[in-house]
């Protein structure tokens, strides 16, 4: 596996692969890999001849009071894990290479970014779409794989790609969970033992919502309130609980087949998100 540090070197590598007729698959990450990341790498390997994983803790998607400085990092471990998955290139640039002092451009998707996580994290999605746009230009992938745990992020990137006519296949990969149901996240390392137990309320809320949908008609506001009450029983702080359309992200007053339960909570100081397509088998 090659480790490439600069955008110019990465683009030179990509150009050689394209001339050779090879299909490039990209997995954008911020590192501190877990099985969820590794499953994205394997999926990219199935869809492409060459797999590139970007490892970049993107400073412009963090707010002033968020965890940029303490975001978990373990570069040598990540390199070994990526290599074990058959990754061809780990692209690990420095912030000053991705954002030179004179940089003044942002890529912004409106509408989809205004609710859910976007409401409480102003500027976050502009940081996400800007870095993903740069990665697409630098690496020139034929396909890119994103986890569905970041449900809103996936919808925003799909919109950006469609609006800008990018010839990149966006692949959404299912949420990977721990054996007890907690969605895998690099931030899970922040949780104490008691907070880890409390965090399972997200998975229990999904189970409750699915059972209610299966057993008969239920109004969206009623179900949303039930989920909120279940979460509050664990003493967590709710940022949002919303039932939205999977494509438009607009709240659903009446449950449709496109309904997604989306949640964000704080367990102690740790922010966690989860979601579920309520009518999926």
- Cα–Cα nearest to 190, from 67, 90, 92: 67
The residues assigned a catalytic role are 37
Which one, of 56, 123, 64, 53, lies nearest residue 86 by Cα?
53
Strand, coil or helix: 109:
coil
Bridge partners for 225 per DSSP: none
Side-chain-side CA neighbours of 51 within 13 Å: the count stands at 21
Tokens of 138: 């630098």
Residue 280 near residue 213 (C-beta atoms within 8 A): no
Residue 166, Cβ density class (10 Å: 0-12 exposed, 13-18 middle, ≥19 buried): middle
Give how far Cα 18 sits from Cα of 44, 56, 107, 139, 181, Å: 16, 23, 26, 10, 40
Short-list 54, 63, 49, CA closest to 33: 54
């Amino acid at each position: 596996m090659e480790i490439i540090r600069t955008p110019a070197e990465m683009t030179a590598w990509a150009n050689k692969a394209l001339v050779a007729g090879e299909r490039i698959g990209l997995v954008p990450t911020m590192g501190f890999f877990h099985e969820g990341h590794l499953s994205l790498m394997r999926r990219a390997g199935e869809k492409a001849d060459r797999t590139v994983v970007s490892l970049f803790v993107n400073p412009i998607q963090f707010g002033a009071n968020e965890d940029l400085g303490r975001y978990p990092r373990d570069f040598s471990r990540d390199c070994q894990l990526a290599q074990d998955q058959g990754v061809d290139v780990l692209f690990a640039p420095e912030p000053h290479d991705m954002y030179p002092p004179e940089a003044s451009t942002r890529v912004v998707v409106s509408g989809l970014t205004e609710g859910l996580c976007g409401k409480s994290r102003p500027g976050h999605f502009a940081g996400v779409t800007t870095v993903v746009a740069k990665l697409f230009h630098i690496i020139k992938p034929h396909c890119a794989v994103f986890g569905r745990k970041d449900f809103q992020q996936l919808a925003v990137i799909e919109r950006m790609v469609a609006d800008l006519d990018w010839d990149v296949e966006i692949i959404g990969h299912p949420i990977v969970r721990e054996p007890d149901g907690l969605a895998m996240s690099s931030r899970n390392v922040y949780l104490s033992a008691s907070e880890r137990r409390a965090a399972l309320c997200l998975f229990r809320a999904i189970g409750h919502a699915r059972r209610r949908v299966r057993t008969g008609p239920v109004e969206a506001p009623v179900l949303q309130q039930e989920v909120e009450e279940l979460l509050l029983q664990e003493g967590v702080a709710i940022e949002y609980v919303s039932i939205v359309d999977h494509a438009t992200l607009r709240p659903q007053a009446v449950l449709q087949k496109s309904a997604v339960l989306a949640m964000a909570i704080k367990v102690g100081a740790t922010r966690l998100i989860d979601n579920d397509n309520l009518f999926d088998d």
